[in-house]
Copies of this chain bind each other. A is one copy, B any other.
Amino acid sequence: MFTERFLRDKSGVSLEPAERDRLEAAISEIQTLAPRRTVVRAGEPIDQSTLLVEGIMSRYIDDRHGLRQLVAVHLPGDFVDLHAYPLKILDHDVATMTAVTIAIVPHAELDAITREMPQLTRKLWFATLVDAAIHRAWLFRFGRLDAIGRVAHFLCETNARLVSAGLSDGRRFALGLTQTDLAEICGLTNVHVNRVMRHLREERLCIFRSSLVEILDPERLATRGQFDPAYLYIDHRTPAHSSSNPRP
């Protein structure tokens, strides 16, 4: 079940069995890719989209000097470039951050789905709009938070999303990123991210060492990052995930 985590726990739009089957059937191929590979370039027409099964991917925009600004980080269960289906050409690049497993969905299959299953179409639309809501949260992060707040906000967001994917227990999760990655995500320098991490550690809010994030005080970390998870549209009526165990 490659689509197992897609739209899991999203309020009011979790997939019906028939819809999930249809989406599974739309997958043309499963691939594994190495870390730090660009898989889609801005401006190139594309006729398929990528569902992330395992690993972390990113979307970024290069500036004139080749410095990249990350505009999204994708976790297992995300339909990374589903928006390429209506758009056909992307305004940004897509890359792997870690090694990943992805499922390829041809746009021709999505054409069929939009013709035949308007309810499922609306749920796919919904999924792209949650990504847009995350963009807005990132705008808030950039515009209103200082360096410590930005990192705190990102860690809270990632934790909430991984809990929803069944990959965090709410306090500890694996995150195969470097401090330099964190810097690109938060619009800071790696040097300053390092100082921020030291601060979070000394304040007993959060520890990030050797790809393991440990949130010591979720409450205070969320307050420091002014984090309110409403924009993730996670349905809290269905509590945790007993299906797949969280991995440390």
Contact = CB atoms under 8 A, between A and B. Distances in A.
B91 A137 contact: yes
Contact of A67 (B131, B137, B144, B231): B144
A121 B119 CA distance: 12
Interface in A95-143: 114-115, 118, 121-123, 125-126, 128-133, 135-140, 142-143
Contacts of A59: 136
Contacts of A63: 140, 144, 226
Contacts of A142: 139, 142-143, 187
A42 interface: yes
Nearest to A67: B144
A207 interface: no
Interface residues of A, number: 48
A71 interface: yes
Nearest to A185: B143
A212 interface: no
A201 interface: no
Interface string A140-162: 10111000000000000000000
B69 A144 contact: yes
Contacts of A13: 86
A176 interface: no
Contacts of A70: 143
Contact of A118 (B88, B118, B143): B118
A88 B10 CA distance: 12
Given A118-B121, A136-B135, A226-B64, A87 B126 contact: yes
Contacts of A233: 87, 89, 91
Contacts of A88: 12
Contacts of A26: none
Given A129-B87, A131-B132, A142-B139, A230 B64 contact: no
Nearest to A72: B136
Contacts of A138: 139
A168 B59 CA distance: 32
21 contacts: A61-B136, A61-B140, A63-B226, A69-B140, A71-B136, A71-B140, A83-B132, A87-B126, A87-B129, A87-B130, A91-B230, A91-B233, A114-B118, A118-B121, A128-B128, A129-B132, A132-B135, A135-B136, A135-B139, A142-B142, A143-B187
